[in-house]
Structures are given as structure tokens and as C-alpha cells.
Amino acid sequence: MDAALEKRQVERAYELYAPVYDFIFDWIFAPGRAAAIKQLGLARNDSVLEVGIGTGLNLPLYPPTCRLTGIDLSQEMLDKAVERVQTLTRTNVTLKVMDATALDFADNEFDKALATYTISAVPDPVAVLREMRRVVKPGGVLVILNHFRSEGRIAGRLEDLVAPLCTRLGWKSNLALKPLLARVGLEPEVVARLNMFNGWRLVKCVNRK
């Protein structure tokens, strides 16, 4: 049975996680963050969209010369990101509450887009990736960092078994990478395994339109 993740459920979950999110997720996921920003290959003045920016843990990793827009469904998570922008005294960062399945941006508005630990936490990952493709210029770069369903038989079955519980907690444990990319017409240029037990995958795609 596919336990569906709903938008309201995600909002409720991150309202609860916001005060403690950084304590739990900062150190565990740090190696992946640095690698993901590196894969963006940011040049001076590049415009970047970070989808599901959360509390803004990636903010200190962006070069100050890029122009960053961060969106998130959760006001509580974004409030933390606002505090982080102020602490870092960053001036070229715009943060907005927005649903990633209906981005309020024009086609081809950004050079690059990033989603770290987000694509399995959204109710409709296909719609989110399609929107990311739409707002990134042709030839632009999309970087996704996430845990995806394991290709090993036993680990994959285990992830299926715990999926209903994980869905209640706000994310999908068994989102399969290849079918997801195929459905949105993306071909990965880079797939690297990283973080604890190499359990997460860093995926870089060029937006061929």
C-alpha cells in the first residue's frame, strides 16, 4: 500500500520539527550539503533557487556573489532561515513561503536549482521536479540530494515496510530515483553516494529543454 504524503501533514510535521531541526539534521547531513553546493558550480552572479530551503542550513555554504532565492512550504522553518540570513548578514537572499508544486516564478528565471533532503519530503516529487525544470534555463543545472529507495533487494523491501511510518513522520523512505527522473525527463550527469553508510545520493542533471 502506498501511504500518500499530504501537504497539510507536511506543514504540521515541519511546524513541530522547526525548533529542533538544526540540532538533529545539521551534523548528520553536513557532508552532503557541501558536496551539493559544489556540484552547482556557482559562478559570480548566478541566480539560484533552493527548493524547500527549510531553516537555511545551506546558507553559509553559498558564495556571497550568487543571488539566492529560497522557498519553503513551512512558515516556521522559513522563520529560522530568516534569522540565519540576518546572522550571516547576507544581502542577496530572498526567502518566500511557497509551494514547490506551483512556483510563482517565470519560465527560465534561474540559472540553477537545488533541493537538499527535500524531494522525499514533498507530497508530489514529480510535480516539484517539473517545476524546477520549468524555472531553470535551458542548459542550467539541477542538483538533488536525497535518500532514495535502495536498489538492494533486502534494504529496498525494508524501506517499503517502514514507508507508512515514515510517511506519518513527514517523508517517503522508498522513493525510487530512476523512475522519478524518467517521469520528469531528466538524465543524471552525476550520481554520487554520500553521508552516513553512503545512504544518500547526490544527483546532478543538466536541464535539456
Ligand X SMILES: C[S@@+](CC[C@H](N)C(=O)[O-])C[C@H]1O[C@@H](n2cnc3c(N)ncnc32)[C@H](O)[C@@H]1O
Contact residues: ligand X, CB under 6 A: 10, 14, 25, 52-54, 57-58, 71-74, 77, 99-101, 116-118, 121-122
For ligand X, give the closer residue by CB, 10 or 205: 10
What angle do helix axes 75-88 and 7-17 make, rounded to 10 degrees? Answer: 50
Provide the minimum distance between the beta carbon of 153 and ligand X in the complex, in angstroms, as a whole number: 27
Angle at 60 between CA 65 and CA 28, to 5 degrees: 145
Q: Which helix (H) or strand (E) holds 95?
A: strand 93-97
For ligand X, give the closer residue by CB, 154 or 200: 200
For ligand X, give the closer residue by CB, 97 or 157: 97
Provide the minimum distance between the beta carbon of 198 and ligand X in the complex, in angstroms, as a whole number: 18
Provide the minimum distance between the beta carbon of 69 and ligand X in the complex, in angstroms, as a whole number: 12
Closest CA to 119 of 142, 157, 147: 147
Distance (Å, whole) CA 88 – CA 135 = 27
Provide the minimum distance between the beta carbon of 43 and ligand X in the complex, in angstroms, as a whole number: 22
Provide the minimum distance between the beta carbon of 77 and ligand X in the complex, in angstroms, as a whole number: 4
Distance (Å, whole) CA 142 – CA 207 = 7
For ligand X, give the closer residue by CB, 34 or 45: 34
The contacts of residue 113 (CB under 8 Å, 6+ apart) are 48, 49, 50, 51, 132, 135, 136, 140, 141, 142, 143
For ligand X, give the closer residue by CB, 16 or 138: 16
